[in-house]
């Protein structure tokens, strides 16, 4: 017997000084008298940037307890399939947040609660919403009408309203001590664990009753179908793709110079503007009136000066109309560290501690180091936010930076290439295309017509499919609306050799087909054999193999469809060999039925 608990959210304050504070789930496992043999390990899938920790223990003596603790909500943005799998296997879900982090609570309420509801799909999994911590700017008040702590803290009424809308149990834990952990939180959690175990026992008893055998003659045993091949997701290369773009300097449209006119480094407007309003202001993407923050304007004016780039030679890989912008860096200390700062930004702003070490080694002066790091924080600061980011951790800078090329997807702002497709135009940015797609990199940097053209025609795919393809290149995510759209996107991904997108489409198609009930599968107009043919033609070996197993596993359904005749001799032979139920079982079943009728007896199974 086992109980699976999945916990989402971070109970620590966004800018908490206590980085060693134990998590809610770990505190409960350590302190509860009912828990024994606790073991913890970070999930291997997130070894690069851990977002999930697995704890295993024993509860109630001999019940296996598995806890997946996911403190970062990034798992929903970067790997929807894994997050949905975690929720699907959960017996209890715990959502936790800090009462002193209103921004995270708003993100939870607006973005992630709807995702969790969608993944639960109306199932009756119990949910606990835990508000952790004592409100710092006022004495904690449980009065629903109190407004003392409404600006910066999450009020009791806000948390209770969220729990009511979710149908969850709401708990306020003012401290992670023995009272709140063991008696309050632990009491509710242990009650739900007992309820889950009782429900599982009840379902098991029902199954036993249904499988009672006929006393006279045993019917033939139907074996389980063969396990179909499992497709594993491919790790994202999004951050490394952008980082490599800085190394190769292809399609660079910005050149940074020191005050003595020596070139420091080349970069790309679209990447810089996606992380910083300072660069948006510098490259005229936004005006001072759009930003409403004088500190960003002061930072841009004190650090940089844009010079006229007329008359400069066009670099390799850029069309003649795209002349790189010359930017002079006014601050000598900042200029000497600019290369390290750009590497930090292009790599996804994960490694703040590494940036600190690199700048310390280069400057060898604590005051200058502190000065440069403060300038970096000013560059990354969103408009209207206070720049109080001393002693930041990497994941906090990542949240602040929030690199998002989605802002520039399908927009003419800073675009330097226009695709023409089905009579329509789609603007794009060469830097992003070259970084994310090797075929595009060869097309724009080789001896091809597209290397020096603004207008680039696209053939063989629809506009909607190509837009979905570009959206993946910009955001590293895609969400097909149907199986047919996923197949079209898979064909486009194969055409441009973007293997990870191809695997995502394969997984989507498999997930959708697996979730189809037999009745819907029998009545659908979707041709599985046609999908199989397309998968083979476009070198999707994993999907084509899986589809063959799928047809064989659902043999009684597909053998009645006209499309079954379109299978090749080799495919038909494979399906007949692996069919379920097997022809031997159907023969034994017919013999059993004849025996029952000849004996004129009633069979409980039949």
Shared domain check, 178 and 98: yes
pLDDT value at residue 220? 67
d(CA 480, CA 531): 16
pLDDT value at residue 487? 96
What lies within 8 Å, CB to CB, of 228 at 6+ separation is 546, 549, 550, 553
Distances (CA, A) of 581 to 256, 431, 559, 569: 68, 53, 12, 20
Shared domain check, 43 and 107: yes
* Residue 236, domain member (yes or no): no
Shared domain check, 278 and 165: no
* Structure token pair of residue 4: 């699976």
Shared domain check, 28 and 162: yes
Distances (CA, A) of 381 to 299, 354, 551: 10, 19, 54
What is the Cα 19 distance to its own chain's centre?
25
Low-confidence ranges of the chain (pLDDT < 70): 14-21, 37-38, 40-51, 137-151, 209-233, 308-322, 349-350, 384-403, 600-606
* Residue 533, domain member (yes or no): yes
Query: From the CB of residue 17, how many other CB atoms can be counted at a distance below 10 Å?
Result: 8
Shared domain check, 119 and 44: yes
Shared domain check, 263 and 191: no
Shared domain check, 187 and 62: yes
* Residue 155, domain member (yes or no): yes
Q: Angle 540-541-547 (CA atoms, 0-180°, nearest 5)?
A: 90
Shared domain check, 194 and 251: no
Shared domain check, 180 and 57: yes
- Output the DSSP codes for 478-503: ---SSHHHHHHHHHHHHHTT-HHHHH
Q: What number of CA atoms fall less than 13 Å from residue 184's CA on the CB side? A: 18
Tell me the pairing of strands 424-428 and 417-421: antiparallel
Query: Which of 331, 348, 380 is a domain's end point?
Result: 380
* Residue 231, domain member (yes or no): no
* Residue 543, domain member (yes or no): yes
Shared domain check, 360 and 251: yes
* CATH number of the domain residue 302 falls in: 3.30.710
Shared domain check, 175 and 113: yes
* CATH number of the domain residue 80 falls in: 3.40.50.300
- Is 175 in a helix, a strand, or coil? coil
Output 291-297 pairs: Cβ under 8 A, ≥24 positions apart.
Answer: 291/383, 292/383, 292/384, 293/383, 293/384, 295/378, 295/381, 295/387, 296/378, 296/381, 296/383
Do 556 and 534 touch, CB atoms closer than 8 A?
no
Tell me the pairing of strands 63-70 and 53-59: antiparallel
Query: Which of 208, 229, 256 is a domain's end point?
Result: 208
* Residue 394, domain member (yes or no): no
- Domain interval for residue 93: 2-141+148-208
* Residue 489, domain member (yes or no): no
* Residue 174, domain member (yes or no): yes
pLDDT value at residue 315? 47
d(CA 360, CA 333): 11
Total domains in the chain come to 3
Shared domain check, 296 and 153: no
d(CA 29, CA 399): 29
pLDDT value at residue 120? 83
Query: Which of 208, 238, 258 is a domain's end point?
Result: 208
d(CA 391, CA 389): 6
pLDDT value at residue 50? 54
């Amino acid at each position: 017997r086992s109980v699976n608990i999945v916990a989402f959210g971070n109970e620590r304050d966004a800018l908490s000084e206590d980085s060693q504070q134990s998590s809610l789930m770990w505190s409960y496992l350590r302190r509860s008298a009912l828990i024994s043999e606790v073991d913890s390990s970070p999930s291997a899938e997130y070894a690069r940037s851990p977002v999930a920790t697995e704890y295993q223990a024993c509860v109630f003596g001999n019940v296996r307890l598995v806890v997946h603790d996911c403190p970062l909500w990034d798992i929903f943005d970067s790997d929807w399939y894994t997050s949905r799998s975690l929720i699907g296997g959960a017996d209890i879900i715990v959502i936790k947040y800090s009462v002193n982090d209103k921004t995270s609570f708003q993100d939870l309420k607006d973005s992630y609660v709807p995702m969790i509801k969608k993944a639960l799909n109306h199932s009756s999994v119990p949910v606990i919403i835990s508000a952790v911590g004592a409100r710092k700017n006022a004495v904690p008040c449980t009065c629903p009408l109190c407004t003392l702590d409404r600006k910066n803290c999450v009020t009791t009424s806000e948390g209770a309203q969220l729990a009511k809308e979710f149908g969850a149990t709401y708990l306020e834990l003012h401290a992670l001590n023995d009272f709140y952990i063991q008696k309050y939180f632990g009491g509710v959690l242990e009650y739900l664990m007992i309820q889950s175990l009782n429900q599982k026992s009840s379902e098991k008893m029902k199954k036993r009753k249904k499988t009672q055998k006929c006393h006279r003659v045993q019917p033939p045993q139907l074996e389980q179908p063969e396990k179909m091949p499992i497709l594993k997701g491919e790790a994202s290369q999004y951050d490394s793709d952008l980082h490599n773009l800085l190394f190769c300097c292809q399609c660079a449209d910005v050149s940074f110079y020191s005050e003595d006119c020596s070139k420091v480094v080349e970069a790309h407007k679209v990447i810089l503007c996606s992380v910083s309003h300072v660069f948006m202001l510098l490259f005229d993407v936004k005006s001072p009136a759009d930003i409403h923050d004088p500190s960003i304007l002061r930072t841009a004016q004190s650090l940089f000066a844009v010079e006229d780039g007329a008359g400069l030679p066009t670099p390799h890989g850029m069309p003649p109309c795209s002349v790189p912008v010359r930017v002079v860096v006014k601050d000598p200390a900042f200029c000497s560290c600019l290369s390290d700062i750009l590497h930090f930004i292009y790599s996804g702003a994960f490694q703040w501690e590494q940036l600190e070490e690199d700048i310390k080694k280069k400057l060898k002066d604590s005051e200058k180091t502190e000065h440069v790091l403060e300038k970096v924080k000013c560059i990354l600061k969103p408009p209207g936010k206070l720049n109080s980011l001393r002693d930041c951790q990497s994941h906090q800078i990542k949240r602040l930076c929030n690199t998002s090329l989605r802002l520039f997807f399908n927009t003419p702002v800073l675009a330097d290439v226009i695709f023409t497709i089905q009579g329509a135009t789609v603007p794009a940015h060469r830097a992003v295309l070259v970084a994310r797609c090797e075929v595009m990199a060869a097309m724009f940097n080789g001896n091809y017509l597209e290397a020096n053209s603004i207008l680039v025609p696209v053939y063989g795919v629809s506009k909607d499919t190509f837009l979905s393809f570009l959206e993946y290149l910009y955001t590293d995510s895609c969400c097909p609306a149907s199986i047919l759209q996923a197949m079209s996107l898979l064909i486009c991904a194969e055409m441009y050799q973007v293997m990870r997108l191809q695997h995502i489409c394969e997984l989507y198609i498999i997930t959708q087909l697996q979730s189809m009930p037999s009745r819907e599968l029998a009545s659908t107009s979707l041709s599985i054999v046609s999908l199989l043919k397309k998968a083979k033609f476009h070198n999707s070996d994993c999907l084509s193999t899986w589809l063959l197993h799928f047809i064989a596993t659902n043999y009684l359904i597909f053998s009645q469809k006209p499309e079954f005749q379109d299978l090749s001799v080799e495919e038909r032979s494979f399906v007949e060999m692996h069919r379920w139920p097997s022809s031997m079982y159907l023969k034994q079943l017919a013999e059993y039925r004849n025996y029952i009728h000849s004996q004129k007896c009633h069979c409980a199974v039949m």
